[in-house]
Structure 1
Amino acid sequence: MRKADRQYALYKGDEFIVDGTPREIAKKTGKTFDSLMYYTTPAYRRLVEKAKRGRLEMVEIEYDDES
């Protein structure tokens, strides 16, 4: 599955903001799609690693495929 089609949850620090695909989150929050995709990269995680509090973070939601 393409990264842009996966489900994510957006957090600001420990506070849950919204979940959905990056395009859905962009519509709900007014953030750009490109910014949200950048939040999923290792480079962004390294950049904000020390200043975790108050930073936006996109966390992939993983579902069990067992049905």
Structure 2
Amino acid sequence: MKSILWFTVGVAAGFVVAHQVNQTKQGRDFFSSVDAKARAFGNAIAEGYHERDAELRREAGDAAPAN
């Protein structure tokens, strides 16, 4: 139970610090950069998944398009 409390305190402190950092121009630039990289990574993962899914469907003979 004690570790859950410390985890919650740490998360809350992280949010407070991130909010304070985001108040500055450098902080906003930093978070924008992190956001752009995370979105690019997520898009690459999704694209790879869809490509592999289409490949497996072609190999299985089930050529129904996946949306």
Q: TM-score range by the shorter chain?
A: under 0.3
Provide TM-score, normalisation by structure 2.
0.25
Bigger relative contact order (CA 8 A; separation at least 6): 1
Provide TM-score, normalisation by structure 1.
0.25
Task: Choose between structure 1 and 2: higher strand proportion.
Answer: 1
* Greater radius of gyration (CA): 2
